[in-house]
Amino acid sequence: MKNRRKNALILLFFACLLLLAITLAGGALSETASETNFAHKNLSPCPAYPFGIDWMGRDMLARTLAGLSLSIRVGGLTACVSAAIALALGTACALSGGWVDDLISWLIDLVMGVPHILLIILISLACGQGFWGVTAGVALTHWPSLARLVRGEVIQLCAAPWFRMSRRLGVSRGQLLRDHLLPHLLPQFLTGLILQFPHAILHEASVTFLGFGLPPEKPAIGVILEESMAYLTTGRWWLALFPGLTLVAVVALFALMGERLRLLLAPASAQD
Binding residues vs other proteins (CB under 8 A) = 106, 109-110, 112-118, 121-123, 125-128, 198, 202, 205-206, 209-212, 225, 228-229, 232-233, 235, 237, 240-241, 244, 247-248, 251-252, 254-256, 259
| Nearer Cβ to other proteins (47/113) | 113
Q: Are 176 and 113 in contact (CB under 8 A)?
A: no
Least spacing, CB of residue 20 vs other proteins, in Å: 19
| Nearer Cβ to other proteins (181/221) | 221
| Nearer Cβ to other proteins (94/205) | 205
CA-wise closest residue to 262 among 203, 199, 198, 193: 193
Least spacing, CB of residue 266 vs other proteins, in Å: 13
Least spacing, CB of residue 194 vs other proteins, in Å: 13
| Nearer Cβ to other proteins (49/237) | 237
| Nearer Cβ to other proteins (76/163) | 76
Least spacing, CB of residue 258 vs other proteins, in Å: 10
| Nearer Cβ to other proteins (163/222) | 222
Go through the chain and tell me how many residues it has. Answer: 272
Least spacing, CB of residue 143 vs other proteins, in Å: 15
Least spacing, CB of residue 254 vs other proteins, in Å: 8
Burial of 130 (0-12, 13-18, 19+ CB in 10 A): middle
CA 175 to chain CA centroid, nearest Å? 32
